[in-house]
Homo-oligomer: A and B are copies of this chain.
Amino acid sequence: MARTLYASVRDLPIVSPHGHTDPAWFAYDEPFDNAVQLLLAPDHYLYRMLYSQGVPLEQLGVASRRGPPSVEPRAAWRQFASRYMLFRGTPSALWLDQVFADVFGLTVRLDADTADEYFDTIGAALRTPAFRPRALFERFNIEVLATTESPTDALQAHAAIRHSGWPGRIISTYRPDPVIDPEHAHFREALGQFADITGEDAHSWHGYLAAHRRRRAAFALAGTTATDHGHPTAATADLSDREAQALFDKVICGRFTPAEAELFRAQMLTEMARMSLDDGLVMQIHPGAFRNHNRALYASHGADMGADIPQPTDYVRALKPLLDRFGNDARLAVILFTLDESAYSRELAPLAGHYPVLKLGPAWWFHDSPEGMRRFREQTTETAGFYNTVGFNDDTRAFLSIPARHDAARRVDCAFLARLVSEHRLAEDEAAETAADLAYRLAKRAYRL
């Protein structure tokens, strides 16, 4: 039954509404460098595990604040290959093995002995036209791919794609964290760029809001259909204009407490929701990570080094101010994610199973894995149903793994549906229709693609 369902959805086009690939790849279509630059150095799932077992990041080809590492790519690849057993039972191994086999035709096992064979085979392939970004995009049968950019990004790569005549649909996502989070490392600098790119007085509250409206409109014009917000918590607020202005003034001066920074982020989620009512952009909220937990590593290597750790995340009280304001307005769509699985059945499914504006994003980050995706369905479906969820997100900068990730999600969903059929909780034809919804249709609908 699971196989029949899977066979019916495996070849559907890929809709990737949330991810972190680089639009420049598709704008300029230059060849990828080598196995390390393509697969290892950008993937914090890989080097976090190797780091946990005592391998220095330098030996893996990961750049530090001092610059690129001096290690030879082949040597870095050998480090990785000789420890590939560490990934047994992880989704990383699942995705990589599928990439190795399906994209590069490599079917021997990766280990110390085969490291060079892998490095050479991948390197040779990457020098051929069939492995250029656009060719892979087409081979992967991607219908639409969303990248993620800051409001201060001029979207030049996206413009270059559109003007190139190449028909691949690659759109951006409005991710304003750098200009919304007063504790972001580059907040003040980003705010200056925000003023420059919009021509608004981004250092006054109303000018700042106008700058957001202007950039959102520019993103929307370039194809964007969604915003994304990666806050430490899901806190929202609903301050009066006067209170919000006073808070903004503190934030701008840099004289704010952590609680005030939190309140400002909270207020801005509500402001973003208000703007979404006007411009129709779908909101995504990705809360719950304690970023840069490893102090020494952050000092030496900066952000995104595999040291972000989930923490308990409240939704019931956190979202209430925003929901009190806009929770029943069906023009708004807010997609919620979590790193705290205990919230699935306790908070998220009940919230999404009630509020018209809320939908549940798929199992995210650490939980985007066979066991994690299975728990997501087991713990949300009975209260929120399938139709308050939004299909799959690959959420990756590992471009080559996109088909493998969607494939894993399709397999897990089909296995879950097949179990419902076998337990007489769903009819076969309903399962088949739902499988296609989960694999393809819901993502298009939820993200207004």
User: Which residues of A approach B to under 8 Å, CB–CB?
Assistant: 48-49, 51-54, 85-91, 93-94, 109, 290, 293-297, 306-312, 314, 316-317, 320, 323-324, 327-328, 330, 339-342, 345-347, 349-356, 358, 366-367, 369-372, 378-379, 381-388, 420, 423, 425-427, 430, 433-434
Contact = CB atoms under 8 A, between A and B. Distances in A.
B314 A312 contact: yes
A311 B89 contact: no
Contact of A354 (B85, B307, B314): B307
8 contacts: A51-B356, A52-B358, A89-B382, A91-B382, A290-B317, A294-B355, A370-B425, A372-B382
Given A49-B353, A328-B297, A347 B310 contact: yes
Q: What is the total number of copies of this protein in its complex?
A: 3
Contacts of A384: 52
B90 A309 contact: no
A349 B323 contact: no
A297 B433 CA distance: 33
B296 A420 contact: no
A333 to B, nearest CB: 11
A311 B350 CA distance: 10
A276 B358 CA distance: 43
A357 to B, nearest CB: 9
B354 A51 contact: yes
A418 to B, nearest CB: 12
A326 to B, nearest CB: 10
Contacts of A367: 345
Contacts of A369: 382-383
Contacts of A433: 85
A356 B54 contact: yes
A86 B307 contact: no
Contacts of A312: 312, 314, 342, 346
Contacts of A370: 382, 423, 425
Contacts of A353: 48-49, 52, 306
B342 A89 contact: no
A276 B91 CA distance: 34
Given A48-B354, A312-B312, 13 more contacts: A52-B353, A53-B388, A54-B330, A87-B385, A89-B382, A89-B420, A90-B381, A294-B323, A296-B328, A310-B316, A311-B316, A366-B382, A371-B382
Given A85-B430, A347-B311, A352 B382 contact: no
A64 to B, nearest CB: 13
Contacts of A294: 323, 327-328, 354-355
A312 B315 CA distance: 10
A379 B426 CA distance: 26
A384 to B, nearest CB: 8
A336 to B, nearest CB: 13
A107 B16 CA distance: 39
A346 B311 contact: yes
A91 B347 CA distance: 18
A330 B55 CA distance: 10
